[in-house]
Structure 1
Amino acid sequence: MNEYFADFHIHIGRSYLGRAVKITASNQLTFSNIIEEASERKGLDLIGIIDMHSPEVLEEVDLLIREGVVQELTEGGLRYKQTTVIMGCEVEVRFEAFGCSAHFLVYCPTLTEMKAFSAWLATKVTNPHLSTQRLYASMEELQEQVQLRQAVLIPAHIFTPFKSVYGNCSDSIQKLLDLSQVPAVELGLSSDTEMADRLSELTDQSFVTNSDAHSLAKIGREYQKMRMKACNFKEWKMALWRQEGRQIVANYGLQPKLGKYHLTRCAACSELVSETAGERCPDCGHPQLIQGVFNRLQVIADRPAPLHPAHRPPYIHQVPLEFIPKLGPKTMERLLGQFQTEMNVLHEATEQQLADVVGAALAAAIIKNRQGQMRIASGGGGRYGKVLE
Structure 2
Amino acid sequence: MPKFIADLHIHSRFSRATSKDLDPEHLALWAQKKGIKVVGTGDFTHPGWISELQEKLIEAEQGLFRLKPDLAASIKPAIPDSCQDSPRFMLTSEISCIYKKNDKTRKVHHLILLPGFDSVLKLNRRLEQIGNIRSDGRPILGLDSRNLLEVVLETSDRAFFIPAHVWTPWFSLFGSKSGFDDIEECFEDLTPHIHALETGLSSDPPMNRLLSQLDRYLLVSNSDAHSPAKLGRESNLFETALDYDAMVKAMTDGQGFSGTIEFFPEEGKYHLDGHRKCRVRLHPEETKSRKGICPVCGKAVTVGVFHRVDDLADRDHPKISKAFFSLIPLTEILSEIHGCGPATKKVTRIYEDLINTLGPELHILMDASLEKIKQTGGVLLSKAIDRMRNNKVIRQEGYDGEFGVIRLFDDGEKDEPYQNRISSDYQGERQGDAL
Specify the code of the residue in structure 2 equivalent to 1:236.
M
Specify the code of the residue in structure 2 equivalent to 1:79.
R
- Residue 323 to residue 74, structure 1, CA distance change in 2 (3 Å): closer
Q: Which residue of 2 aligns with 1:18?
A: none
Superimposed CA distance per residue, residues 160-207 of structure 1 (whole angstroms, 9 cap, x where no aligned partner): 111111013111121001321012000000001111112222111100
Asked if 1:172 is matched to 2:182, the reply is yes
Asked if 1:52 is matched to 2:52, the reply is no
Q: Which residue of 1 aligns with 2:98?
A: 94
Asked if 1:187 is matched to 2:199, the reply is yes
Aligned-pair distance for 1:285? 5.5
Q: CA RMSD in A?
A: 1.8
Aligned-pair distance for 1:288? 2.1
**CA separation in 1, counterparts of 2:133 and 2:120?**
17
Q: Which residue of 1 aligns with 2:7?
A: 7
Specify the code of the residue in structure 2 equivalent to 1:50.
G
Report SS of the residue matched to 1:59.
helix
- Contact 2:96-2:110 within 8 A present in 1 as well: yes
Q: Which residue of 2 aligns with 1:30?
A: 23
- State the aligned residue count: 370
Q: Which of 94-103 and 180-189 deviates more?
A: 94-103
**CA separation in 2, counterparts of 1:370 and 1:73?**
35
Superimposed CA distance per residue, residues 191-239 of structure 1 (whole angstroms, 9 cap, x where no aligned partner): 01111112222111100011110111111101121121x2111111011
Q: Which residue of 2 aligns with 1:368?
A: 387
Aligned-pair distance for 1:294? 0.3
**CA separation in 2, counterparts of 1:345 and 1:353?**
10
Aligned-pair distance for 1:268? 4.2
**CA separation in 1, counterparts of 2:35 and 2:267?**
23
Q: Which residue of 2 aligns with 1:17?
A: none
Superimposed CA distance per residue, residues 262-312 of structure 1 (whole angstroms, 9 cap, x where no aligned partner): 00012442211121123344632522201110011121223333233xxx2
Specify the code of the residue in structure 1 equivalent to 2:39.
I
Superimposed CA distance per residue, residues 16-42 of structure 1 (whole angstroms, 9 cap, x where no aligned partner): xxxxx111111111232212221x211
Q: Which of 285-294 and 207-216 deviates more?
A: 285-294
- Contact 1:92-1:132 within 8 A present in 2 as well: yes
- Contact 2:204-2:265 within 8 A present in 1 as well: yes
Report SS of the residue matched to 2:184.
helix
Q: Which of 292-301 and 77-86 deviates more?
A: 77-86
Asked if 1:71 is matched to 2:58, the reply is yes
**CA separation in 2, counterparts of 1:158 and 1:335?**
35
Specify the code of the residue in structure 1 equivalent to 2:252.
W
Asked if 1:223 is matched to 2:235, the reply is yes
Asked if 1:121 is matched to 2:104, the reply is no
Give matches, 1:1-389, under 5 Å: 1-13=1-13, 21-38=14-31, 40-64=32-56, 70-80=57-67, 82-97=86-101, 98-148=104-154, 149=156, 150-167=158-175, 168-177=178-187, 178-228=190-240, 230-242=241-253, 245-246=255-256, 248-276=257-285, 277-278=287-288, 279-281=291-293, 283-284=295-296, 286-308=298-320, 312-324=321-333, 325-326=336-337, 328-388=347-407, 389=409
- Contact 2:327-2:365 within 8 A present in 1 as well: no
Q: Which of 117-126 and 193-202 deviates more?
A: 117-126
Aligned-pair distance for 1:53? 2.2
Ranges of 4+ aligned residues in structure 1 off by more than 3 Å: 280-283
- Contact 1:45-1:231 within 8 A present in 2 as well: no
Specify the code of the residue in structure 1 equivalent to 2:6.
A
- Contact 1:221-1:320 within 8 A present in 2 as well: yes
Gaps of 5+ in 1: 14-20, 65-69
**CA separation in 2, counterparts of 1:341 and 1:74?**
23
Superimposed CA distance per residue, residues 80-138 of structure 1 (whole angstroms, 9 cap, x where no aligned partner): 46222111111111341231211001111111111211222222222425222222333
Specify the code of the residue in structure 2 equivalent to 1:299.
D
Identity between Structure 1 and Structure 2 (%): 25
Specify the code of the residue in structure 2 equivalent to 1:237.
V
- Contact 1:55-1:129 within 8 A present in 2 as well: no
**CA separation in 1, counterparts of 2:367 and 2:275?**
41
- Contact 2:275-2:399 within 8 A present in 1 as well: no
- Residue 60 to residue 240, structure 1, CA distance change in 2 (3 Å): same
Gaps of 5+ in 2: 68-84, 339-346, 410-435
Report SS of the residue matched to 1:176.
helix
**CA separation in 1, counterparts of 2:145 and 2:327?**
34
Give the TM-score normalised by structure 2. Answer: 0.81
**CA separation in 1, counterparts of 2:150 and 2:181?**
24
**CA separation in 1, counterparts of 2:195 and 2:60?**
22
